[in-house]
Amino acid sequence: MNVMHQVQAKYKLIALDLDGTLLTDREQITDETKKWIQYAVDNGVKVIFSTGRGLQTAKGIWDELGLDSPMVLLNGAEIWEGPGRLYKRFFIPRETIRRIHAIAAERGDWYWGYSVESLTGAKDWTPEMFERDWMKFGIGCQDQKKLAGLKEELLSFGSLEITHSAPVNMEISVQGITKESGVRQVCQMLGLSMSDVIAMGDSHNDAKLLKAAGLGVAMANGEEHIKSIADVITATNNEDGVAQAIRKHLFQIE
């Protein structure tokens, strides 16, 4: 879409979750969504990611959209000013990682972690991993009652933030580190306020951000809790929900 003149957008920053939101179930971005993201950028709106993914799995999407904007990765534990320009990282203490890993290895069905160097799953975890700095650790378990018990145990540490991106997992960061805290820091970086933000998401790890944003948009495929707290609900991730929200709520184009 070629923009011949500047259009006044209602918000100045779009914060996008990736899985289940920007990406279809086949992990693709539709042409319609790309078109409206570009339209927003052409009209002076910052488009950023607010995702649980790390750079290892988000960079390709960043590149595909050609965005030169900040990014909030790992649920806020890693913030980038732009491509190749790291702003801040928040590490879980190494001793805490040892404790979390012991619980995950003994009682989780699977686990993974994001360090500066890698995204590492259970099969690749070696003793050397304890010498790395970890920003996020995840545990998966098909038994949700068991998962709830693990979450309770980890919360008792008193130093962790725990959320989830699916009913069968939990994602662990330093206490106070969330997508919301990350987007707040990006706003400070850009001289914006949270009222300038339209945020979109589908899962529990989007909840605080959607409530804090100027407009919180839930995907129709999102968790019921997310839809109940959002300001508006858009179409599903497979039906150009992000594009529809940009068109309707950012530019008031029906």
Catalogue the active-site residues: 17
CB 65 within 8 A of CB 22: no
Question: Crossing angle of helices 94-107/144-155, nearest 10°?
Answer: 160
Distance from C-alpha of 25 to C-alpha of 202, rounded to nearest angstrom: 13
CB 39 within 8 A of CB 3: yes
Distance from C-alpha of 67 to C-alpha of 58, rounded to nearest angstrom: 12
H helix runs in 68-206, sequence order: 94-107, 144-155, 179-190
Token output for 114:
């994001």
